Amino acid sequence: MCAAAAAGRPAHESFAGGARVERKLARLPFKRRKLDGEALMMREEKPYGANAGRTAARAFDLDGYLQARVALIERTLAATVAATDGPAARLLEAMRYSLLAGGKRLRPVLALAACEAVGGAPEAALGFACAVEMIHTYSLVHDDLPCMDDDDLRRGRPTNHKVYGEAIATLAGDGLLTDAFMVLARTGAATPGAAAALLETIAELAEAAGSAGMVGGQAIDLLGEGRTPGLAELELMHRKKTGALFMAAVRGGARLGGATAAQLAALREYARSLGLAFQVIDDLLDVEASAEVVGKRTNKDAARGKATYPALMGVARARAFAHELIARATDALAQFDDRADALRTLAAYAVERKL
């Protein structure tokens, strides 16, 4: 862990103006490979962080892993929120419209990868992974509403309220959030130890989704429009709004896979850095990418007067900061064997993604 992180200071304070990180990154060789049409930059000589002896970022078949895990998640989500011709058919249709619209499925994949990293079977965390994705999708539906971010494009097609109206879209989000906990609670536990792990996972996920996490972060975001916060406040907002669900996904998947306390502590550091790096890249994509590429409206943060990492740090420093965070995430996995290679490679993917 870096000195600033160990001292409890905000992540950006170890950044020292970005120059050191930018010089280090400029010397690192990359090679380009394709992942489902996206350009994924992979280190040729070693993965992110201090694990110089590992070549997982080069050798791990991320394409195959993602295809298999995403297919499993898609099938389970479709079965979990099934279509109906009953009185609530319109509601279920709206829920499925957003839930089954595709996307990276990064959070549920991370949950499965964390479960596997500690020796668990992916099926042990499958219900939990789907619950995480349901909560993430609910947050997108609500974020897009006119009273929130007022977006009309999500994942390349009209947002939920543009198709079903604001009332049904609001209820669709409510349904996804509430049903997620039903799905998780019914996962089942064969032993008292497993039941305790499931209960703690439910509590951690609820905390991540609620006022202490994602909802609280969204409130900070909305109330901060039109003013310029410092980097520490921006980091706090994003650790809640984005990072909390990443943390819950990784730790919950690992806990259901039988993780030890030491493994959960290490994965906390991994997810803490990964979640913030993901948001930094999201901010960069809003500035640099087109709506056709990312599937949603871009340049919207500047239009609404929202603070972002590129706005406060500059594009080059923000990108270097994201790479520094991914190096920390990878270093946090030092105690894990090659079963954590999916987590290592997903960290590189998260920071080099194009959408």
- The average confidence (pLDDT) of the chain is 84
pLDDT band of residue 92 (cuts 50, 70, 90) is: very high
- The neighbour count for residue 155, using CB atoms within 10 Å, is 17
Total residues found in the chain within this entry = 355
- Integer Cα distance of 337 and 171 in angstroms: 44
pTM, to two decimals: 0.82
Quick: pLDDT tens for 136-192.
Answer: 999 999 999 999 989 999 988 999 999 999 999 999 999 999 999 999 999 877 678
- 119 neighbors 258 (Cβ within 8 angstroms): yes
Strand, coil or helix: 38: strand
- Integer Cα distance of 261 and 254 in angstroms: 10
Q: Which homologous superfamily does the CATH classification assign to the domain defined by 3-352?
A: Farnesyl Diphosphate Synthase (1.10.600.10)
- The neighbour count for residue 182, using CB atoms within 10 Å, is 11
pLDDT band of residue 18 (cuts 50, 70, 90) is: very low
Q: What is the CA radius of gyration of the chain?
A: 19
Average confidence (pLDDT) over 286-304: 62
Bridge-based pairing state of the strands 30-35 and 38-43: antiparallel
Average confidence (pLDDT) over 126-137: 98
Quick: pLDDT tens for 49-75.
Answer: 655 335 444 589 999 999 999 999 999
- Integer Cα distance of 56 and 348 in angstroms: 11
The structure tokens listed for 317 are: 């420093």
